[in-house]
Amino acid sequence: MNKTYTDLCDILGVRYPIIQGAMAWVATAELSSAVSNAGGLGILSPVTTRGLVEEIEISKRLTKNPFGVNIPVMSPNSDEVVKIVISEEIPIVTTSVGDPNKFTSILQREGIKVIHVVTNIKHAKKAEYAGVDAVVAMGTEAGGHVGREEITTSVLVQNIVDNVKIPVIAAGGIINSDNLLSVFTLGAEGVQCGTRFIATEECIAHKNYKRAIINAETDSTKIIARDIVPARVVKNKFSEWF
């Protein structure tokens, strides 16, 4: 396990193999820099009221440790985000919802590490073929957007580890050290956590949302919009419409 720990940390330039997920609107400089200062890898979302350039500038003032930016490949402004990432000399990006071939070689020519988020083996192999440095295997337990296949994290991680040679990072339902150790035994080399970082002082999410997360039970969430863009949300009156 020590070798697994060291390999991913060397790739990312961090102390701990823990990545903060790029949650739209709430993955701001304050949150990502706090994660990076604690030894993990903070990730900025390009969806921000302040604008990505300002978020990056604030992050550079708040931390001297590596941090990254998420690039939703299919987003209408993904090309602009790539240009900003390159000009600001961001060392690491996570890419998602789109073809990893589109930006991987462009980013790597600039010395940027690329980690692609996948929800099935087919996409993991495609990402490896595209040359990404690692993949995040995101299981259906994850919050927010999840894969249509609804494969559990443990099954997905083990199967992707068995089918690719690049590092695999587990995501989906990772909330504590026990979860981290369990995915290590499946061959993962690190974890990505999203919801776990929302109920923190550094996160700008509303206090009612944070309280809902803290008070949540095992059956307090549901997947909505399965026929459009599946997403795991907290059960409430709004989610009843789906």
- Compute, in degrees rounded to 10, the torsion defined by CA atoms 127, 117, 179, 6: 60
Write down how long the chain is.
242
What's residue 1's pLDDT?
42
Tell whether 188 is covered by a domain. Answer: yes
End-to-end CA distance of the chain: 42
What's residue 6's pLDDT?
54
Tell whether 39 is covered by a domain. Answer: yes
Mean pLDDT by 10 residues, the chain (242 residues): 64 96 95 98 95 98 98 96 98 96 98 97 98 97 90 97 97 94 96 96 96 94 91 91 84
CATH of the domain at 35: 3.20.20.70
Integer Cα distance of 86 and 207 in angstroms: 35
Buried b / exposed e along 197-218 (16+ C-beta atoms within 10 A)? bbbeebbebeeeeeebbeeeee
Tell whether 97 is covered by a domain. Answer: yes
What's residue 99's pLDDT?
95
Tell whether 60 is covered by a domain. Answer: yes
Please tell me what DSSP assigns to residue 148: T
Tell whether 129 is covered by a domain. Answer: yes
Number of domains, the chain:
1
**Which amino acid appears at position 192 of this protein?**
Q
Its pTM stands at 0.94
Domain ranges, residue 160: 2-210
Tell whether 230 is covered by a domain. Answer: no
CA-atom Rg of the chain in angstroms: 17
Which residues neighbour 171 within 8 Å (Cβ) at sequence distance 6 or greater? 21, 117, 136, 137, 138, 139, 142, 153, 191, 192, 193, 194
Tell whether 86 is covered by a domain. Answer: yes
Tell whether 237 is covered by a domain. Answer: no
In the three-class reduction of DSSP (H, G, I as helix; E, B as strand; rest coil), residue 71 is classed as strand
Evaluate whether 28 touches 35 at the Cβ level (below 8 Å). no
